[in-house]
Structures are given as C-alpha cells and as structure tokens.
C-alpha cells in the first residue's frame, strides 16, 4: 500500500460513516442520494469501529451446484488478486439468488480473508457463524443470516457488483460502521480528512447550545446560522480543492 493511502485510511477511520457522508456532500461531486448502500445492508456487529478499505468484488450463487472448481478454489483466486488493490481489502459479494438461498460466508472464509489482509466483508446476501466471526473482530455487513452454506458458486471475480442499491467496482474505497456503508470518491479522500474536523465542530456548536441553553430558541437559531455559515465556507474550500 502506498504511504499516502495509509495516512488517509488511518484518518478516515477516526470518523463515523454519517460524518463521512456529510463531508462528501460539501464537494458537490455526486447527487446527495447516491453513493451509499440502502437499508438492506446492515452491520452484523454494530459495536465494531469503522471499516475502511478497497473493494474486492465477486458474485455468489448457492442455489445450484457450480460447474468446475469448488468454492474454496475460487477463494484462492480471490485472495491472489488482493495485491491488485490500492490497500486493505473489503470483500464485496453480490448474491445472485433472490431471496438469498444460503450463507455466503462463515468463520473459515472470514478467517481466510483476514489472514490475507482483508479488513471486512459486505454482501447483499447472508452469512453464518456470526459468534465466531465476531470473536475474530472481522466486521461484516449483510442482509441477514442463514445456517447453511448450500452450494458455493463464485460465477465472477473482480467485476462490478450491485449491492445495497449501488454498483461497487473493484478497488472502490468503502467506509462502513453501525450506520451502514458508503463509497468514498478516491479523488477527494485526502481532502475529506483536511476538513472533517472543522465540519464536526459545526455540529458540536449546535449540540453545545442545546445542552447549555435548553429551550432558548433565539440562541439555537443564532447558533445554527453561524454553523451554516461555517459549513458554507467549508463547501467553498472543498469546491476549490476538487477543481484543482
């Protein structure tokens, strides 16, 4: 991993995913209702800290016996391609069965991915062995749990996948926590960390007023106006940085 990505990812992990989404909006780089996964994708372990990494994508089918290689040989092919990504890996599976026919992951798969540098997993399908996966501190985001793995078929690896209402491409930068998962445009990742603390401070202003002067509507309006003014200045800085 390039040194600039290490610093950037370390900084991104300091913030929750809603804050990351809020700061992305300042750059006006995409519509506000795009780029993040919908409510079908849920953190299995909401107590874990934010997950940040680059997407290693694949499709999965459990409803029919796969032709040729078994699932474990497909995992081997997956991890062989981890080195093509920009940094720590988030495995992303699109479940081709609807509804999900069986668990896409379990303890052995998660341990394997973790041993080869993965920092989490996201799937539009389901998982199992959740107690065991929690114990190894491996964050997973799923659409539920199923006790059996059925057949393990990986029709495609390292392709665009559709998960949680968005398309995820290989090497996309992802951020996820108890609130959900978002993509981060890589071209603004470094700029996000430059202004994130200042954005958080604008929210802290309002919270402080609410705590210290409950019921004071005039003070709240004045504080919100100042916070908005600061955010607009941040937006102007973000816009200039993006254009440069």
Q: How many angstroms separate the most distant Cα atoms in the chain?
A: 70
Nearest to 106 by CA among 81, 134, 87, 83: 134
Q: What is the pLDDT of residues 36-76, one digit of tens each?
A: 999 999 999 999 999 999 999 999 998 887 776 566 678 89
In DSSP terms, 181 is beta-bridged to: 176
CB count in 10 Å sphere of residue 230: 15
Handedness of CA 17, 20, 26, 28 (dihedral sign): negative
pTM across the whole model: 0.93
Predicted local distance difference test score (pLDDT) of residue 244: 60
Tokens of 133: 């996966």
Predicted local distance difference test score (pLDDT) of residue 86: 95
Q: Is residue 153 very low, low, confident or very high in pLDDT (cuts 50, 70, 90)?
A: confident
């Amino acid at each position: 991993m390039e040194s600039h990505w290490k610093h950037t990812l370390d900084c991104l992990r300091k913030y929750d995913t809603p804050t990351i989404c809020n700061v992305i909006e300042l750059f006006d780089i995409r519509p506000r209702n795009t780029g993040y996964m919908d409510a079908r994708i849920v953190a299995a372990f909401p107590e874990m800290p934010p997950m940040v990494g680059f997407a290693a994508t694949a499709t999965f089918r459990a409803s029919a016996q796969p032709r040729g290689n078994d699932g474990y040989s497909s995992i081997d092919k997956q991890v062989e391609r981890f080195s093509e990504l920009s940094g720590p890996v988030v495995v992303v599976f699109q479940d081709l069965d609807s509804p999900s026919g069986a668990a896409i992951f379990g303890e052995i798969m998660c341990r394997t991915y973790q041993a080869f540098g993965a920092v989490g997993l996201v799937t539009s399908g389901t998982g199992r062995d959740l107690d065991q996966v929690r114990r190894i501190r491996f964050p997973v985001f799923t659409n539920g749990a199923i006790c059996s793995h059925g057949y393990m078929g990986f029709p495609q690896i390292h392709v665009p996948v559709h998960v949680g209402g968005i398309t995820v491409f290989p090497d996309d930068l992802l951020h996820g926590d108890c609130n959900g998962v978002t993509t981060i445009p890589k071209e603004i990742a470094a700029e996000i960390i430059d202004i994130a603390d200042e954005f958080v401070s604008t929210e802290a202003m309002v919270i402080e007023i609410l705590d210290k002067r409950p019921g004071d509507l005039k003070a709240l309006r004045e504080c919100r106006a100042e916070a908005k003014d600061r955010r607009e200045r941040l937006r102007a800085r973000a816009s200039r940085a993006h254009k440069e």
